[in-house]
A and B are shown apart, each in its own frame.
Chain A
Amino acid sequence: MSPAATLLIAIAIPAAAALLIPLAHRKPNLREAVTLVASLAMFGAVAALVPHVLAGARPATGAWHVLPGLELKLVLEPLGMLFALVASFLWIVNSLYSIGYMRGNHEPRQTSYYVCFAVALAATLGIAFSANLFTLFLFYELLTLSTYPLVVHKQSPEAIRAGRLYLMMLLGSSIILFLTGIIWVYLRTGTVDFRPGGIVSAAFSPGETGLLLALFAFGIGKAALMPIHRWLPAAMVAPTPVSALLHAVAVVKAGVFVVLKVIVYIFGVAHLSAIGAGDWLIYVAGVTVIIASIVALAQDNLKRRLAYSTVSQLSYVVLAAILLTPLSVVGAAMHIAAHAFGKITLFFAAGSIYTAAHKTEVSELDGIGWRMPWTMGAFAIGALSMIGVPPTAGFVSKWFMVSAAVETKQYFALAVIVLSTLLNAAYFMPIVYAAFFRRTPGEAHGPGHRHGEAPWPIVTALVVTALGTLALFLAPGLPLALARQLAGP
């Protein structure tokens, strides 16, 4: 099996699953088995590609010519490898969690739920493997469209409104800004391929490069740079495994992945750094980090707090990327992985609390750590990762980012990182503290049914991701190797 064929197979597996799942509509266990088998198979295919990439190979498929200058083509490079690994691994875990959550909460329309997940994962891998902006754009839009039904799953008026906002913001930003940028690149350079060192160098003046960067930065709405961020907290109306998918695995990671990829392979890190057209983005990303953290402080709804935390953390990646040094690029890539594991753990915990105790607000969580030790233990690990302290993954990426900020004398960025670390602590630590060190205020809060942990698939999933967060700190060899390859020979 050639590596290039494996690329196609990796995308074909979830696509095939999407077709098979409706056939098993009447047999839920068989239907869920399809998802689990597909996720394991997809991870297997992706993992099989790792040795090739580590050895320096860049497997590529043939090109399907669509329009003059536009072709569909897949290629595997280190950043895409890292993203695909994270996404495919977390799909396995998320599928297990979904089973527990959807059944535990007796959610309707489960078949379409699993189908949309499969399509979204296929689109995610398509984004990870894309060889040029056209292929990427096609899968990017497919991702938006396939996750829309997941966002509106509940079909309540609030969900429908959120869905509209989601679609309009993401499709709007991508069609008006991102596509315009792609067409401009094509017009000036004659190509839209991703190439090491970038493709824009001679064709754009420094001012135009800055404008082009803005078109991409704000056009890639999934990266949630302010003000294109409102869709994220609105999407919290979706079932929690969807939020876990959106916030760790597919959508937002796709956003920052694309931003990083565009900076490295379209603009070129060295070129952008030399002409200084990226400086404004440091401020935009930095401001997003701080403001989102401040807003998170004010949220009582747990998922909304996590949503704003995500907006903030995503801009860490953008900030690191735009510092434009090899060290910062490594940090950005590492943070894609670190945040994925940390945030999915936090969302899993939120969903676990909802399923077992039917609680959604931070103020309701007093003493819950004793009833749900596994959940809150995992939550604590996830929180530590967000703050960026050892022994969690968040520390590794933050280390690189701080080093890069010091090295480039970008003191604004350094200040942002330091301040946001404190803010993260301010809105995460109180939750952990209250969960373990505050007494439950008796049965005064409603019927107060005695509850324990959530169903075992949920607990298993969140333990796995929490362990993953720790593992990334203790053994970061693989992601680090890939990130280093990305940062350049």
Chain B
Amino acid sequence: MIVEHFPALQVVVPLLGATICAMVHNRRAAWLIALTVSLAMPVIAGGLLLRVLEQGTISYRLGSWEPPWGIEYRIDAANAFLLVLVSAIAAVIMPYARASLDREIAHQHQPRYYALFVLCLAGLLGMAATGDAFNVFVFLEISSLSSYVLIALGRDRRALMASYQYLVIGTVGATFYIIGVGFLYVMTGTLNIADLAERLPQVSSQRPVIVGLAFIAVGLCLKLALFPLHYWLPNAYAYAPSVTTAFLAATATKVAIYLLLRFFFTVFAQTFPFEEIILPVIWIALSAGAILYASTAAIFQDNVKRMLAYSSVAQIGYITLGIGIGTEAGLTAAIVHLFNHGVMKGALFLLVGGVAYYGGVATMKHIAGLGRRMPVTLAGIVIAGLSLVGVPGTVGFVSKWYLVLAALERGWWWLAVFVVATSLLALVYMGRIVEAALFRPPDEAGERHGEMPLSMLVPALLLVAACVYFGLDTELTADVAARAARGLLGIAR
């Protein structure tokens, strides 16, 4: 019985959990509540994914109200996959958070932090699960507002500035999105995504629809940090608490990308020919720009978190490149890289957070000599870094493989060469970290310490192991991504 309501529970449980957390003043109790919620989420998400794989798209009517007047939660392979990613990352990060937050934010703020974390989780899961365009906006704002605070709670004074930047840009993005939805509503009278897909082709005047599409696209691109709309990301990731950074890096932009896919392929595909709305040239050009610019910027950073943030912008470029290619292989590449990058970056930020645990901040100075003091952490960073480069046997290779295949299938061999060649840029910036860790003498002034506490190390290593495991067994990731891609394109036909 309860299984029937999984789509709703996926969002309701964390919402309730957040409320309870907010009422609790003891930080350990708050953590326990957050932990319970986080561990329950992958169970629900996994259940949903299994059901979708067996029975096809799930359509759930919230409160039994019929769509398009009621809100519908519509779960197919694409968003079930995303739900699993977001919830699994949260479940892995929560045990890590206990020790990490003790050092990174003031004790009295912690219950608030956990409440907002769970709220953000609820928002992200809601964005992924829902089938109603306005409901998306509601959850978008829930997750955004909570993430602004999650960033601002960092000890570094620059966290406040970074959060404010993100707030301004993020609000602009969300506002653009809702303006776009407004245009669509005016023309069709419905907010339900599936319904929009049916009604849009029949609309009398196409001009407002195009404008709506443009606003939605730009709004979502701001949220997913597509170059050149990525400005908020490096600072937000660099100065936020490690837990926030790891969580947002692995999930927030991915959900925005999913929404982009949903709107392009489900909503608008019937109205405009596929090629027109994707505008491959612009899309690919921006993606290539992201990859080149951000990878190069990463090479010159001194703050390791900022380096990884720029790396994220570049990796998002690879994802949007896959979308720009637009074929089934291209979309499969994009969707599988959503997952793979979430795992890789989650692992890296958790590991680097362990370095910041002792030094307060993670610059190259703190990385120096890591090989001697924290060899296991360094091993994890090396493996996750190799995954970023795309060495076979890791998840990064799987994404690159699909991306190159997709490019070659369309005959764009120069794009394929571009994808493999830019992998070497990742080698350069990860190489900088590894060289500093191995060859530079450690900073003696710092506290004498060993590895990070086990409660932090184990989750981080779990994600590193996932980097390798899902690089060798792609049944869960690539097969599901392929199915999701077919689903997205199938509706377009």
Interface residue ranges, A against B (CB under 8 Å): 64, 66-68, 70, 72, 134, 137-138, 141-142, 145, 152, 155, 160, 164, 167-168, 171-172, 175-176, 179-180, 183-184, 186-187
Contact = CB atoms under 8 A, between A and B. Distances in A.
Given A155-B439, A187-B409, A67 B420 contact: no
Contacts of A168: 424, 427
Contact of A183 (B416, B435, B474): B416
B390 interface: yes
A141 B408 contact: no
A164 B404 contact: no
Contacts of A68: 478
14 contacts: A64-B472, A66-B398, A66-B473, A66-B474, A67-B401, A68-B478, A138-B392, A141-B391, A152-B438, A155-B439, A175-B390, A176-B417, A176-B424, A183-B404
A183 B182 CA distance: 45
Contacts of B408: 183-184, 187
Interface in B421-479: 421, 423-424, 427, 431, 435, 438-439, 471-474, 478
B389 interface: yes
Contact of B389 (A67, A171, A183, A187): A171
Nearest to B482: A68
Contacts of B409: 187
Nearest to A188: B408
Contacts of B423: 175
Given A66-B473, A172-B424, A176-B417, A160 B435 contact: yes
| Closest 8 A/B residue pairs (Cβ) | A138-B392, A141-B391, A138-B393, A175-B420, A183-B404, A187-B408, A176-B421, A155-B439
B165 to A, nearest CB: 36
A279 B309 CA distance: 48
A175 B435 CA distance: 21
A104 to B, nearest CB: 25
Residue from B391, B392, B421 having most chain A Cβ neighbours under 10 A: B392
A164 to B, nearest CB: 7
A70 B401 contact: yes
Interface in B349-396: 386, 389-393
Nearest to A144: B391
B105 interface: no
Given A66-B474, A145-B386, A167 B427 contact: yes
B405 interface: yes
A67 B478 contact: yes
Given A67-B398, A175-B423, A187 B405 contact: yes
A459 B493 CA distance: 74
Please tell me the size bucket of the interface on B.
20 to 34
Given A66-B472, A67-B478, A145-B391, A167 B420 contact: no
B401 A183 contact: yes
Contact of B416 (A64, A145, A180): A180
A64 B471 CA distance: 12
A30 to B, nearest CB: 21
Contacts of B393: 138, 141-142
A134 B401 CA distance: 11
B420 A176 contact: yes
Interface of B: 386, 389-393, 398, 401, 404-405, 408-409, 416-417, 420-421, 423-424, 427, 431, 435, 438-439, 471-474, 478
Nearest to B401: A67
Contacts of A167: 427, 431
B144 to A, nearest CB: 36
B328 to A, nearest CB: 12
Contacts of A155: 438-439
A341 to B, nearest CB: 32
Contact of A134 (B392, B405, B424): B392
Contacts of B424: 168, 171-172, 175-176
Interface-central residue, B393, B421, B435, B471, by most chain A CB under 10 Å: B393
Given A67-B474, A134-B392, A171-B424, 9 more contacts: A66-B471, A66-B472, A67-B478, A160-B439, A164-B435, A167-B427, A171-B389, A176-B421, A183-B404
A186 B398 CA distance: 15
Contacts of B435: 160, 164
A251 to B, nearest CB: 17
A94 B86 CA distance: 50
Nearest to A156: B439
A403 to B, nearest CB: 39
A179 B424 CA distance: 13
Contacts of A183: 401, 404-405, 408, 416
A202 B327 CA distance: 27
B185 to A, nearest CB: 42
Nearest to B371: A112
Nearest to A157: B439
B117 to A, nearest CB: 35
A444 B86 CA distance: 74
Nearest to B473: A66
Contacts of B472: 64, 66, 72
Contacts of B427: 167-168, 171
Contacts of B420: 175-176, 179-180
B411 to A, nearest CB: 11
Contacts of B391: 141, 145
A67 B416 CA distance: 18
Given A137-B392, A155-B439, A171-B389, A180 B417 contact: yes
B252 to A, nearest CB: 28
A197 B251 CA distance: 49
B389 to A, nearest CB: 7
A180 B418 CA distance: 11
Contact of B392 (A141, A152, A172): A141
A137 B424 CA distance: 17
Contacts of A179: 404, 420
B103 to A, nearest CB: 30
B211 to A, nearest CB: 40
Nearest to A148: B434
B387 to A, nearest CB: 12
Contacts of A66: 398, 471-474
B471 to A, nearest CB: 8
Nearest to B382: A145
B110 to A, nearest CB: 38
B133 to A, nearest CB: 35
Nearest to B424: A172
